[in-house]
Structure 1
Amino acid sequence: MKEDFLHYLWKFKKFDTLNLKSAQGELITILKSGDYLELSGPDFFNAQIEIGNQKWAGNVEIHLKSSDWYLHNHEKDPAYQNVILHVVWENDTAIFREDNTEIPVLVLKDFVDKEILANYKALVSPKTWISCEKQIKGIDSFVFKSWQERLFFERLERKAKFIYELLEETNQDWEAVLFCLLAKNFGLNTNGVSFLQIAKSIPFSIIRKESFENENLEALFFGTAGLLIGEKEDVYFKDLKFRYFYLLNKYQLERTFVEPVQFFKLRPDNFPTIRLSQLAGLYHKYQNLFSKINDLKSLASVYNLFNVSASSYWQNHYQFDKESPRKSKPLSKAFLDLIVINTIIPIQFAYSAVLGEPIVEDLIDFMNEVASEKNAVIDKFVSFGIKPKNAFESQTLLELKNEYCNHKACLKCSIGVELLKNN
C-alpha cells in the first residue's frame, strides 16, 4: 500500500465518516477535510474537525504508520506543530507535540470497506503494462477528454522548463534558444544530445553573421560535430575544412569536441550529415526565424516555412567521399510533424507564458492538425482500444504512460480515481 491511497481515502471521504473514533476513544466529526496542496509541510491544510466536544482548525498529516512521524523528523519541523489530527493505517506509537500533548490519531483501516481496499489492490496490480488496461476504454469520455487536456498542459510545462534553462544560458535570447532547440530535435533521439552540444558550442551571434554563406554554416556545424577530421580526397570536404579553421581563427574560437554523432542503424535520410546540412539551409534562408515560428498557427504554414533542402553536394552524397544516386533531400512532412510537436508548440507555449498570455487552447487546435505519432507505447494503447486521432491525443498518452502509469500513480490520475470511485 502507498500513502497516496490514504490521501485518496481522506480527500474523498471513502470511509465510514458517521462512526469515527480516534485511537484515544474520542468521537470525530469531519467538518472540512482540508486542502490537498501537495506542498512541503502537512498533507492537508486548513481542516476543521470536531474531536470529542472540541472544534479544531488546523492541518492533517497522513502516514502509513504513526511512527513515520519520527522517521520523517516532523517533531523537529515547526510546520507540523499545527497538526490537529494524525491519520494513519497502523497506529504503532503515540505522537506528541512540543508541549507534550498527544496528537489525536485516526486509524483508517478500522473504517474502510474491504471492497474498496480490494479494488485498490486490483487497480495497482504490478502484473500489467498499465493498471487499468482492461478498463480504460470504458472511461467516461468527458472525464477522459478533460484529463487529456491536463496531461497536455503538464507535458508542455515540463518541456518549457528546458526552454527556460536555455533562456538563462543565452541571456534571454529567444533566437538562440530556438536554434538550440531546433538543433536538438534535428538530431532526433540518436543525435539530439550531440546536435545540442554543437548549437551550444557556437555563439549564436556568429550564426547570425555567417548565415549569408551556407557553406560557412555547414563548415561550423560539420567541424564542431567532428566530421572534418583527417584527410580526404573530396573537394567539398577540403573546402569545408578550410572554412572551418578560418572561422575558428576569425572569431578566436577554441576547437570544441562534442559527443560523436552516430550513423549506425539510421535511415540514410536521417544521417547527421543530411540533418546538419538541412539545418544550415534553414538558417541560411531565414534571419529572425523566431518571430516567423512564433506566428505559425497551422500545419500548412509550417510546411511552407520549412521548405528547405540539404545543399547541392548532399543531393548525391550521404557521407563524404561516397557518391550516391542523386536525390533531392527536403525536410519531409513526417519529420516536420515532429518539429511541430517538439519545437514549435513548446517554444510558443513558453514564450506566451513569459508574456503572461496563455494560448493553450490555440496550441491544442494546432496539435489536432498533426498526425499521431507511431511508436511502441502508442501501439500498446491501440491494442486496448485507445486509438489517438492526432498528435494532441498521442502526446497525452505518452505523458500518461511515462509520468503516471510507470510510477503506479493511479490515485493522482483522473482515470484511476474515476475507476476507484465507480467501483
Structure 2
Amino acid sequence: MKEDFLHYLWQFKKFDILNLHTVKGEKIEIINSGQYLQQAGPDFFNAQLTIGNQKWAGNVEIHLKSSDWYIHNHENDSAYDNVVLHVVWEHDTEVYRKDNTEIPVLQLKDFTDRAAVDNYRMLTTPKTWIYCEKELASINSFVMSNWKDRLFFERLERKSKPILELAAEVTNDWEAVLFCFLAKNFGLNTNGEVFYKLAKSIPFAVIRKEAFEAENLEALFMGRAGLLKADKQDVYFKDLKTRFDYIIHKHRLPEVYLDELQFFKLRPNNFPTIRLSQLAQLYHLHQNLFSKLIEANTLQEIYDLFTLQVSEYWKTHYQFDKESTKKRKALSSAFIDLLIINTIVPFKFAYNRYIGKETDDEVLDLLTVLKPEKNAVIDKFRFYKVAVESAFDSQALLQLKKKYCDHKKCMQCALGLELIKS
C-alpha cells in the first residue's frame, strides 16, 4: 500500500465518517478535511476538526505507520508544528509535538470499507504492462472521454512551455522560435537535439537575408552541422563549402561545436542531409512561415505549406559523393502529420496563450481529424481494447502512459479512481 491511497481515502472521505475516533477513544468529527496541495509540508492544510470536545483548525499529516513521523524527521521541522491530527493506516507509536504534547492519531484501517482496499490491491497488483490493463475495456466511456480531454491539454501545456520560454529568450521573435522547433522535429528523435542546437546557433536575421537562395540556406545548415568539413571531390559539395565560408565571414558567425549527426540505422529518407535540404527548401519558399501557419485553419492549408522536395542534387544523392536512383524526396504526409502534432499545434496553442486568446476548439479540430500516431504504446492500448481513432486520442494516451502509468500514479488518475470505486 502507498500513501497516495490514504490521501485518496481522506480527501474523498471513503471511510466510516460517522463513527470515527482516535486510537485513545476520542470522537472525531470532520468539518473540513483540508486542502490537498501536494507540496512540501503537511499533506492537508487548514483542516477543521472536532476531537473530543475541542474544535481544531490546522493541518493533517498522513503516513502508513505512525513511526514514519520520526523516519521523515518531522519532529525537527517547524512546518509540522501545526498538525492537529495524524492519520495512519497502522498505529505503532505515539508522536509528540515540540512542546511535548501528543498528536491525536486516527488509525484509518479500522474505519475503511474492505472492498475499497481489495479494489486498490487488485488495481496495483503488477501486470505485464500497466496496473489497470485488464480493466481498461470496462471503464465507463464518459469517464474515459473526460479524462482524455484533461490528458490532451496537460500534454499540450507541457509541449508549449519550452516554446514560450524560448520566445521570451529571443524577445518574442516567433519566426525564430518556430525555426528552432521545426528544425528539431526535422531531425526526429535521432538527430533532433543536434538540429535544435544548430538552429539556435544561427540568428534568424541571417536566415531571412539568405533565404533568397535555397543553396545558401543548405550550405549554412550543412556547414553548421559539420557536414562540410571533409574533403570531397563532388562539385556540389565544393560549391556549398565555398558558400558556407562566405556566409560565415559575411555575418561574422562564431564557430559552434555540435554532436556528430547520426546516419546509422536511419532510413535513407531520414538521413540528416535530406532533412536539412528539405528544411532549407521550406524557408526558401516561405519567408513568413510562422504567420502563414498561424493563419492556416485546416489540415489542407498546412499540407500545402509543406508541399516541397529536396534540391536537385539530393534527388540523386543521400550522401555526398554517392550517387543514387533519382527520387523527388518530398515530405511524406506521415512526416507532415508528425510536424502538426509535435510542432504546429503546440505553437498555435502557445502563441494564442501568449496573446490571450483561447484556441482549445481550434487545436482539437485539427487533431480530431488527423490519424493517430503509430508506436508501441498506442499498439498496446489498442490490444487492451481502448479506442484510438485520432491524433487527439493518441496524444492523450501517450500522456496517460508516460506521466501516470509509468509513475504508478493511479490515485491521481481518473481511471484509477473509477476502478477503486467500482
Q: Is the TM-score greater than 0.5?
A: yes
Tell me which moved more, 59-68 or 234-243: 59-68
Matches within 5 A, 1:315-354: 315-354=315-354
d(CA) in 2 for partners of 1:83, 1:163: 41
Q: Is the 8 A contact 1:298 1:369 kept in 2?
A: no
User: CA shift at 1:30, angstroms?
Assistant: 1.4
Instruction: Provide Cα deviations, 1:174-209, integer angstroms capped at 9, x if missing partner.
Output: 221111100000111111111111111212221111
The equivalent of 1:155 in structure 2 is 155
User: CA shift at 1:40, angstroms?
Assistant: 3.0
User: CA shift at 1:114, angstroms?
Assistant: 2.9
Tell me which moved more, 65-74 or 146-155: 65-74
Matches within 5 A, 1:368-379: 368-379=368-379
Unmatched segments (≥5 aa) in structure 2: none
Q: SS of the residue aligned with 1:404?
A: helix
The equivalent of 1:252 in structure 2 is 252
Q: Is the 8 A contact 2:293 2:344 kept in 1?
A: yes
Q: SS of the residue aligned with 2:165?
A: helix
d(CA) in 1 for partners of 2:286, 2:362: 25
The equivalent of 2:2 in structure 1 is 2
Verify: 1:58 aligned to 2:58, yes or no: yes
User: CA shift at 1:268, angstroms?
Assistant: 1.4
Matches within 5 A, 1:164-243: 164-243=164-243
d(CA) in 1 for partners of 2:298, 2:40: 42
User: CA shift at 1:76, angstroms?
Assistant: 4.2
Instruction: Provide Cα deviations, 1:220-258, integer angstroms capped at 9, x if missing partner.
Output: 110111111221111110000111111111122222221
Q: 1:361 to 1:60 in 2, by over 3 A?
A: farther
Verify: 1:264 aligned to 2:268, yes or no: no
| Amino acid in the other structure paired with 1:411 | M
User: CA shift at 1:309, angstroms?
Assistant: 1.5
d(CA) in 2 for partners of 1:19, 1:128: 40
d(CA) in 1 for partners of 2:355, 2:125: 44
**TM-score, normalised on structure 1?**
0.96
Unmatched segments (≥5 aa) in structure 1: none
User: CA shift at 1:262, angstroms?
Assistant: 1.3
d(CA) in 1 for partners of 2:306, 2:336: 8
d(CA) in 2 for partners of 1:375, 1:94: 52
Instruction: Provide Cα deviations, 1:353-397, integer angstroms capped at 9, x if missing partner.
Output: 222323223211211011011111111111111131000001111
Matches within 5 A, 1:65-214: 65-214=65-214
d(CA) in 1 for partners of 2:348, 2:72: 41
**TM-score, normalised on structure 2?**
0.96
Q: 1:250 to 1:389 in 2, by over 3 A?
A: same
Q: SS of the residue aligned with 1:18?
A: helix
Tell me which moved more, 383-392 or 33-42: 33-42
The equivalent of 1:294 in structure 2 is 294
| Amino acid in the other structure paired with 2:199 | A
Q: Is the 8 A contact 2:127 2:133 kept in 1?
A: no
The equivalent of 1:17 in structure 2 is 17
d(CA) in 2 for partners of 1:42, 1:169: 37
Q: 1:60 to 1:164 in 2, by over 3 A?
A: same
d(CA) in 2 for partners of 1:356, 1:104: 49
Q: 1:72 to 1:292 in 2, by over 3 A?
A: farther
Q: Is the 8 A contact 1:33 1:44 kept in 2?
A: yes
d(CA) in 2 for partners of 1:245, 1:67: 69
d(CA) in 1 for partners of 2:293, 2:85: 53
Count of paired positions: 422
Q: Is the 8 A contact 2:34 2:59 kept in 1?
A: yes
Q: SS of the residue aligned with 1:89?
A: strand
Instruction: Provide Cα deviations, 1:397-420, integer angstroms capped at 9, x if missing partner.
Output: 111111111111111100000010
Task: Please identify runs of 4+ aligned residues in structure 1 that moved more than 4 A.
Answer: none
The equivalent of 2:34 in structure 1 is 34
Q: Aligned residues: percent identity?
A: 62
d(CA) in 1 for partners of 2:80, 2:293: 49
Q: Is the 8 A contact 1:155 1:399 kept in 2?
A: yes
Tell me which moved more, 139-148 or 105-114: 105-114
Tell me which moved more, 110-119 or 242-251: 110-119
d(CA) in 2 for partners of 1:71, 1:282: 59
d(CA) in 1 for partners of 2:101, 2:287: 70
| Amino acid in the other structure paired with 1:85 | L
Tell me which moved more, 382-391 or 40-49: 40-49
Tell me which moved more, 282-291 or 137-146: 282-291
d(CA) in 1 for partners of 2:325, 2:33: 71
Q: SS of the residue aligned with 1:347?
A: helix
| Amino acid in the other structure paired with 2:59 | N
Q: SS of the residue aligned with 2:393?
A: helix
Q: Is the 8 A contact 1:278 1:308 kept in 2?
A: yes
